[in-house]
Amino acid sequence: MSRERSNGFLNLSVQKKLWFAAAAAAYTVLFLWLSVYDLPFSDFLTAHASEWFFQLGRRIGQLPAPLIPAFCIHALSSFNNRKWYIEIICFLLCFIAAWTIVIPHDSFFVEGCVTLAAAIVIFLILIRIPLPKDTPSSRRLLWIGIMTPLIGIVIVEVIKYVWNRPRYLAILQEGAQFQNWRTINGFAIKSDLYHSFPSAHTFDAACSFLIVLLPELYEEYPWNSSLLFAGPLVFTVFVAVSRIMGGMHFISDVMAGAAIFAIVFISLLYRNSRHAKQDFE
């Protein structure tokens, strides 16, 4: 059996599990407390809204969700004698990322051309990123990078269509009644103004936390663990605040979006830690 080193996030020690449990309990308490102030918090932020702040958060917030899986798919494909159709999937994910950052244009043709050009640039940059070593540990980590956004996005979208919570903008524009996050309206196809809970943008932004696995993938490089955590934290908070400021979400929505990422990510880490232990048996 393989005797490769398994540490960091793949090795979920008892101490680390207790830390995760304590963090989850603290986050739950904070969520329940802050959710009481959903409406006042949105009133305050929207009253002090900044268009550039909102637009920037809207455009960059979704980037981690398609780009991280694109790189992971590319790396796994390279390990398995790179296949052209796998690279097409990577390019399509880069195209999705480009579409989120391109400013809309009156001409759909112009917008499409700019998006395509941006996607090509993003793809060329992505494939030039050095690949990690091909080990069982690296493959598990890369699969986590693919499955976390995929599973989480499905969960977020299902909840949106089951909860059908009115956005803050729906209250302002259509006179909808404010509903707290505990109100479940039942599955229904409604306009986007009723897809407030949870925040997909915040979930996508939280996917940036996947970079904390870089020390496992590239053990030969020196990494600052504090920066690897602080960077995604600042990014996710920035996107979350921008979504509330734009009247698209309440504070409970953005916290729920981040929580879904954490639950999926840690669940996959736990599952894969069991496989990692088998490498030492």
Q: In the chain, helix, strand, coil percent, each to 5?
A: 75, 0, 25
- Whether residue 180 is contained in a domain is answered as yes
Rounded (10°) CA dihedral 224, 228, 233, 238: 100
With contact defined as beta carbons under 8 Å apart, do 182 and 211 qualify?
no
- Whether residue 22 is contained in a domain is answered as yes
- Whether residue 85 is contained in a domain is answered as no
Banded model confidence at residue 173, pLDDT cuts 50, 70, 90: very high
How many domains would you assign to the chain? 1
Does residue 109 or residue 261 have the better pLDDT? 261
- Whether residue 94 is contained in a domain is answered as no
Confidence at residue 85, expressed as pLDDT on a 0 to 100 scale: 86
- Whether residue 127 is contained in a domain is answered as no
- Whether residue 101 is contained in a domain is answered as no
- Whether residue 261 is contained in a domain is answered as yes
- Whether residue 240 is contained in a domain is answered as yes
Judged against a pLDDT cut of 70, whether residue 155 lies above it is answered with: yes
Sort 173 into a burial class: Cβ within 10 Å, 0-12 / 13-18 / 19+. Answer: exposed
Residue 172 lies in domain: 8-66+134-278
Compute the distance between CA of residue 178 and CA of residue 54 in angstroms, rounded to an integer.
22
- The predicted-structure confidence for 212-241, as pLDDT tens digits, reads as follows 999 999 988 999 989 999 999 999 999 999
- CA nearest neighbour of 257 among 57, 95, 101: 57
- The predicted-structure confidence for 44-103, as pLDDT tens digits, reads as follows 999 999 999 999 999 999 999 999 999 999 999 998 877 788 899 999 999 999 999 998
Sort 233 into a burial class: Cβ within 10 Å, 0-12 / 13-18 / 19+. Answer: middle
Judged against a pLDDT cut of 60, whether residue 277 lies above it is answered with: no
What percent of the chain stands above pLDDT 90?
Answer: 74
- The predicted-structure confidence for 62-77, as pLDDT tens digits, reads as follows 999 999 999 999 999 9
Residue 74 corresponds to which tokens in the numbers above? 């590319």
